[in-house]
Amino acid sequence: MQVDIIGVPIDLGADRRGVDMGPSAIRYAHLQQKLAELGYAVQDEGNVEVPIAEMCSITNPKLKYIDCIIPMSRRVAGAVATSVQAGRFPLVLGGDHSLSIGSVRGAARSKKIGVIWVDAHADFNTAETTPSGNIHGMSLAILAGQGDKSLVQLWDEPFPIIDPHKIAIIGARDLDAGEKVNLQNAGAMVMSMEQVDRFGMVTVVEKAIEHISRDVDGIFLSLDLDALDPRHAPGVGTPVPAGLTQREAHLACELIAETGKLIGMDLVEVNPILDIQNQTASLAVEFALSALGRRIWNGHS
């Protein structure tokens, strides 16, 4: 299979600057070389065009930079849709999590998909519930058909893009009050850090896969590096203590790879300005390799 690397250098959805350099940091961590060593044909499609914040204005403080995020989302959706329809695997590098408004939508254009969202946050706010106005905290709600109509529809397409019952969030530990109500009303599955601790990662991921993979053509994995504990992944804009270990995140990716249903992946919220020796970007590369089938040992005991 060919992997298409698609960079989205966006920091418009977040408060802290620097995450727009995430795609460069991930590439610098030898992403293309390591994918090739795993046996994949790799095509780097470069970066989707994204304006910098200084070129944009905040017209609505509850939906910051929406006027620039909408065209970005359309471009990302087009790039991912082209990749999936050609039978290739889009690997989308962020950038903040608002890019998923486009990436997941692009994958869903030709296939019915379930979404696994590995994240410290559920990103299920709307303009009515957001405490910050940051759109990266709304992307999953938008994909599930909730929130601002111009983002939910993007074009004049039917919505929701994803059936909320085909969404599973893993590793959540920082949810806003209104967001919790939105999640309950939508019926999305939330597997919090408490459940990871209580039941173990294998059980949590297997439940998530079972929940979202019935009657779908494929799984899309959106992995926010802030799902990890900041000790492992310091280079993120919104770190939350008591997160996933490096090994737990690898295991999640490995279990998803074993389904044979993974059709695309986001790696988001890598902020090299806040990182230590590109540690978080290097982890992102390792998780991509695990999701695409790399194993420590492929033999038999």
Q: Which residues are catalytic?
A: 97, 119, 121, 123, 136, 224, 226, 269
Give the number of other CB atoms < 10 A from CB of residue 44. 17
Point out which residues pair with 115 in neighbouring strands.
167, 220
Q: Is 1 helix (H, G, I), strand (E, B) or coil?
A: coil
Whose CA is closest to 261, among 294, 220, 229?
220
The one-letter amino acid code at 189 reads: M
Q: What percent of the chain is helix, strand and coil (3-state, nearest 5)?
A: 45, 15, 40
Measured in Å, how far apart are the chain's first and last C-alpha atoms?
Answer: 29
Sheet holding 218-224, edge to edge: 41-47, 2-8, 89-94, 262-268, 218-224, 113-118, 167-172, 189-192
Give the number of other CB atoms < 10 A from CB of residue 158. 7
Token pair for 263:
């059709």
Q: Half-sphere exposure of 199 toward its Cβ, with a 13 Å CA cutoff?
A: 16
Q: Is 237 helix (H, G, I), strand (E, B) or coil?
A: coil
Q: How far is CA 181 from CA 116, 125, 168, 253, in A?
A: 20, 9, 16, 29
Helices and strands in the chain: count of H runs, count of E runs: 11, 8
Whose CA is closest to 264, among 97, 89, 80?
89
Quote the CA–CA distance of 144 and 50 in Å, as a whole number.
Answer: 24
